Amino acid sequence: MLLVRHSAPELDPSAPSEEWRLSEDGRRRCGPLAERLARYEPRVLLSSSEPKARETAELVAPALGLEMQVSDGLRETARRTVGWLAPEDLDRGIRELVERPGEVVFGEESAAAALARFEAAVAGLPEPAVVVTHGTMLSLYAAPRIGREPHELWRSLELPDVVEVPWSS
């Protein structure tokens, strides 16, 4: 499974990040991303319902020869009430979220609850599959499957980025 972190959004401190759309640079970065993904000859393209992820998937779909499907289960962890944060505060919040997965400590959803909905959304996908999602969700799902720590993986991700996860049915 190819987990894709969406491309670079237009940052808007006045709007929740779940409403952000891609920046011009983010749209441009989707060309090289599509070329990279096409080499895997994926059979399905599934995207989060959030605009920045949907736009990323829409822009890579033609190169993959696939119709994009949307799943609300792939959205980012619920943190609408968190608001705009300085990078160090966001980093601290993500660290706390992954270190205390059973508790609601950063936003309105625990890491465990978010991961459960994500796992349900990707269950049974045919391989190879491309799943366009968000940094925190990608890190929560992929880290234990590739032997990395979730916060460290989250910090290493670029916009966009791809993490290959071994298939497990």
For position 22, what pLDDT does the model report?
98
Inter-CA distances, 169 with 34, 124, 125, 147, Å: 26, 7, 9, 18
Is residue 16 reached through a cis peptide bond, with omega within 30 degrees of 0 on the bond before it? no
Q: Of the ranges 61-65, 79-83, 141-145, which one carries the lowest mean pLDDT score? A: 79-83
pLDDT digits (tens, 9 = 90+) for 27-60: 999 999 999 999 999 999 999 999 999 999 999 9
